[in-house]
Chains A and B, each alone.
Chain A
Amino acid sequence: MTQTLTATDAKRRKAAAAHADPGSRSVERFAYLFVLPALALVVVFRIIPLIWGFGYSFTNYDGMSTPRFVGLDNYVGIAHDPVFLDSLVNMLILLATLPIWIGLPLVLAILIHQGVPGGKLFRAVYFFPAVLSSVIVGAIFNVLLRYDGSFNLFLKAMGFSAVDWLGNSSTALFSLIAVQLWSTFGMSLLIFIAGLSTVSAEMLEAAKLDGAKLLQTWWHIVIPSIRPIIEFAAVVTTIGMLTSMFGLIYVLTAGGPGTSTILPEFLIWLEQGKMNRPGYASAISMVLFLLMAGLAAIQIRIMSRNADI
């Protein structure tokens, strides 16, 4: 009996070994066949287009005649393009609001974690706008933020004067940013709540016994212990700022008034719609890609540093 078992075991181990062996031809062929659809989709629709766009950005291609190499002309061109420069300034203003995008959900997450009455409900409700399409959010806020909309009605009731939030170039960008923040802060909130659940309760209790005040325990214990999560959320939020604003801009402000709400990703769309200078549009794309690559590098550094600890 024992012997039979051992024999089966040996057979099993041998079979397993056959699979661990990279030389197992049929397994290899099967594996390639199984990753092929995923790999092909990614290579054909993302990696090759990236290389192709990189090439375009150095040509004067107009969509019809043979492209000619023009060196950095497109890049010099965008550097002198007032619309592109405006889009960069808008982007910098957006990026400068990052502390609010992190701070607001972080404070709310800590409060929910501390057991605010109705915390579970708050979590579900705060996240709710994040599942709605930016088209839905944009279309509703386009009505709410009109001169005669709900928001101004509310302000007037509070004794303030009405503002044409979307029609005024000094307020349109902040309105856009506020709406996007309103509709997506639930995402970071979920990330922080998940992170907080790993903070040890004993540490908090010990701090309390030492007489630490609520805010002190937050600042000295809770926030440092989820620092990697905060850094992660900051990178993810920044990536979102660079690449997830299109839908809202498209519906809420269409980039206007003037260039006041054009961000680089929206400008790429406007440029590609003209169809006659893909080289120029590609140059803007490459700038956006460089920013994304920089963020990816930071993300990888954060992740590997955390792995070292």
Chain B
Amino acid sequence: MAEVKTREKRILWIISIPMALLALSAVYPVFFAINAALKTRKGYVLDRFGLTTDPTFANFAQAWNQSRLSEYFTNSVVVTVGAVLVLLVVASMAGFALAILRFRGRKIIFVAILVSLMIPVQVVLVPFYRTMIGLHLVDSRPGLIIAYTAFFLPFSVYLMTAFYARLPRELFEAAQIDGANLLKVWWHIMLPMGKPALLTLGILNTLYCWNDVLISLLVLQDQRTLMVGIAALRGEYTTNVPLLAAGICLAAAPIVILYVIFQRQIVNGIAVGAVKG
């Protein structure tokens, strides 16, 4: 028996070598981008792959200032923060009502919100765009915030409803007897109790909003979010790879930091969404 165990261990050790190579491939592109961003244009042409010897930050400065990435960065921050806040408030309100309160049409409304998961933006691209024009929401940051909320909301509502439905009802009933009105119950009990789910949703929705390109391309015209800006930079500077790489690093940095800090929540959020969904 022990012999089988050691043999199995040895096999696993051997297998871990190709797995480590695959892991290297998963981080290589980001390493390549950082390394290229630290080279001068000439330095990159002379040696594209070697480790940079005298790093320069000029590309970052140029991307940030001359290529208007600072402006796009601000747009992305405003829109992402705005959309995530609206998403959390709206999803928590809906989750509270759907999970705890009793009212006619509750099931139908829940199903309607879930069914809209099956309507991705591509399917409604034309009429959605016309709706945005009709409501004067095109080319405005509030418009993009509303669009993100509309498209990322169903999963959030589903998760908040499922989370609140698992809370003990006594919590809610006790608050009722103390004479608190429902708005206060939501504010003082539901929001604080929902913190774990709200945190997961906040992080996941931050990823979705920050990384989006399609909805942003559609809604904004004169203004750009960071990802649309990077896509444009890719088209404009095909030969100036260090500048493009610097832009890529600036655009990815917030997400990489977020992943390092909240890795557990992100990983669990994906898994919970999958297994429970």
Contacts and interface: CB of A to CB of B under 8 A. Distances in A.
A38 B211 contact: no
Contacts of A116: 12, 15-16, 19
Contact of A281 (B126, B212, B267): B126
Interface stretch (B22-30, B52-60, B63-71, B194-202): B22-30
B103 A22 contact: yes
Interface string B168-205: 01001110110000110010000000000000000000
Among B22, B112, B128, B263, which residue has the most Cβ atoms of chain A within 10 A?
B128
A122 B101 contact: no
A117 B251 CA distance: 33
B19 A111 contact: yes
Interface of B: 4, 8, 11-13, 15-16, 19-20, 22-23, 25-30, 32-33, 36, 48-49, 90-91, 93-94, 96-98, 101-104, 106, 109, 112-113, 116, 118-120, 122-131, 146-147, 149-151, 153-154, 157, 169, 172-174, 176-177, 182-183, 186, 207, 210-214, 217, 227-228, 230-231, 233-234, 241, 244-245, 248, 251-252, 255-256, 258-259, 263, 266-267, 270-272, 274-275, 277
Nearest to B120: A243
Interface in A192-246: 193-195, 208, 214, 229, 232-233, 236, 243, 246
Interface in A1-58: 11-12, 15-16, 19-22, 24, 27-28, 30-32, 34-35, 37-39, 41-50, 52-53, 56
Nearest to B92: A34
Contacts of A268: 122, 125
Interface stretch (A65-73, A84-92, A137-145): A137-145
Given A247-B213, A269-B122, A42 B271 contact: no
Contacts of A53: 123-124, 126-127
A176 interface: no
A19 B173 contact: yes
B187 to A, nearest CB: 12
Interface residues of A, number: 99
B112 A47 contact: yes
B88 to A, nearest CB: 12
A140 B33 contact: yes
B122 A285 contact: yes
Contacts of B27: 125, 128
B109 to A, nearest CB: 6
A150 B125 contact: no
A282 B102 contact: no
A102 interface: no
Contacts of A125: 23, 26-27
Given A32-B103, A194-B274, A269-B125, 8 more contacts: A16-B169, A19-B176, A34-B97, A35-B93, A39-B94, A141-B29, A233-B274, A251-B213
Contacts of B182: 27, 30
A115 interface: yes
Contacts of B172: 19
- Give the interface SS of chain B, mostly helix, strand, loop or mixed: helix
A135 interface: yes
Contact of B150 (A31, A46, A134, A250): A46
18 contacts: A19-B172, A31-B101, A31-B103, A35-B109, A49-B131, A52-B130, A53-B124, A131-B255, A131-B256, A132-B211, A144-B29, A182-B26, A232-B277, A250-B214, A278-B130, A285-B125, A288-B122, A292-B119
Contacts of A22: 102-104
Nearest to A26: B182
B122 A140 contact: no
A126 to B, nearest CB: 6
A282 B127 contact: yes
Given A35-B93, A251-B231, A272 B125 contact: yes
A42 B150 contact: yes
Interface string A237-280: 00000010011001100000000000011001100100000100
Interface of A: 11-12, 15-16, 19-22, 24, 27-28, 30-32, 34-35, 37-39, 41-50, 52-53, 56, 108, 111, 114-118, 121-129, 131-144, 148, 150, 153, 182, 186-187, 190-191, 193-195, 208, 214, 229, 232-233, 236, 243, 246-247, 250-251, 264-265, 268-269, 272, 278, 281-282, 285-286, 288-289, 292-293, 296
A275 to B, nearest CB: 9
B230 A135 contact: yes
A124 to B, nearest CB: 6
B8 A214 contact: yes
A293 B117 CA distance: 10
B40 to A, nearest CB: 16
A133 B93 contact: no
Given A132-B211, A214-B8, A45 B131 contact: yes
A116 to B, nearest CB: 5
Contacts of A45: 124, 128, 131, 146-147, 150-151
A147 to B, nearest CB: 12
Contacts of B157: 38
Given A22-B102, A45-B151, A56 B19 contact: no
A7 B275 CA distance: 44
Nearest to B273: A191
B2 to A, nearest CB: 12
